[in-house]
Amino acid sequence: MDIGVSTKIIEGILIVELVLFLIILILTYGLKLWRDRINRSRQAKFRHIAQFFDKLSGNNESFTPNLFEKSWRKGRETFMAFFAADKAYSDNPGWQKNRATFLETTLLPMARNFSHSPLWLKRFFASETFSISADRDDEKAIIKLTKDKVPLVFYHSIPAAIKVESEVAINNIIDRFAEVNWIPQTLFLEMFKNAGPNIREFIVKRLQSTDKSAIRAACYKLLRQFPAADLPVEQKDLESDNFELRLAALKYLFEKDPKGAVPYLIMALKDPHWEVRLIAIHRLSSLKDESIIPALAGSLSDSDWWVRLSAAESLKSLGRKGENILHERSPELAQIPFDASKHISHTLW
């Protein structure tokens, strides 16, 4: 390439850089000023709405929608102020009296509009509102939100789906639950804690209608959030190739019928997956039954350190007979005060 042309190209690039530089500089300053202005106006709006809620909680008059300004029905500030007030005035009879009317007449219609928005923040507020108040008419919107790709929207749609008892939405949640690993599953399980018997029935129905091991494992895990009921655990699940299904079925079986689960737990001590063996030890030792000592003693030679440690801890917790086994294996082992481990906070898990 001719040197003159190269020079022109480099000069061109430099000019572009300089222009970009100036634009970014102006943007930086401009956006700072703009953001400060927007924030001030949002904060002012939030304050006004918060003051309105404050008044609402303090007097005995009933809320009527015409009291709520039209301009407040559009932005996010109404939702933010409402949820803040809901926390602050949870014990206030004035607030409780007007809250339901406000939700019904103002916030829910806003949430219904927001639930179809392409902006995730609006869908989030819709989801959050449905999570505290929704009726059967909102089922369609909630089903849509349970398929939302944005996690915050999706997570808030779980309590909403539970509230309206939507089978389709619950099935969407089960599908999503089965796709993720144990870390996000913790959050799902948290949300199913106070679910009613109908939700349990949906999960049972799903369990009985599918052969997919990931879905079956998900169903067992979710069912453990409900009081144990007479749902038989299928033998094929306890012998599945999928260790998560074996583990979930075993845990469910134990919660349903601890004594009846003992033979399966003893079998699980030989499971190829260390986590299944570990859980089997924990569950067996929780029974405080000396008859399981020989089975636990076998786990002292397990290939996995955690399993061996848990077996030793369990034997120790079973009293003199268990300690004797430890003594026989290694006098040093028995002398280790495993109680020391309880000092540290990791016993939480």
Told to check if 151 binds another protein by CB under 8 A, we report yes
CB of 186 to another protein, least distance (A): 5
Site string for another protein, 163-192 (x = CB under 8 A): ----------------xxx-xx-xx--x--
Told to check if 349 binds another protein by CB under 8 A, we report yes
Buried residues in 139-175 as b, exposed as e (16+ CB within 10 A): bebbbbbbebeeeebbbbbbbbbbbbbbbebbbbbbb
SS3 for 51-82 is HHHHHHHHCCCCCCHHHCCHHHHCCCHHHHHH
CB of 167 to another protein, least distance (A): 24
Site for another protein in 285-344 (CB under 8 A): 305-306, 309, 336-338, 340-341, 343-344
CB of 10 to another protein, least distance (A): 5
The residue (of 3 and 241) whose beta carbon lies closer to another protein is: 3
Structure tokens at 71: 């301009």
CB of 211 to another protein, least distance (A): 22
CB of 323 to another protein, least distance (A): 16
Q: What is the DSSP string of 273-301?
A: SHHHHHHHHHHHHHTT-GGGHHHHHHGGG
- Residue 340 contacts by C-beta under 8 Å, 6 or more apart in sequence? none
The residue (of 43 and 62) whose beta carbon lies closer to another protein is: 43
Amino acid (1-letter code) at residue 177: F
* Among 294, 341, 285, CA closest to 318: 285
Main-chain dihedrals φ then ψ at residue 343, nearest 5 degrees: -65, -35
List of residues contacting another protein (CB under 8 A): 3, 6-7, 10-11, 13-14, 17-18, 20-21, 24-25, 27-29, 31-32, 35, 76, 80, 83, 120-121, 124, 151-152, 155, 179-181, 183-184, 186-187, 190, 305-306, 309, 336-338, 340-341, 343-349
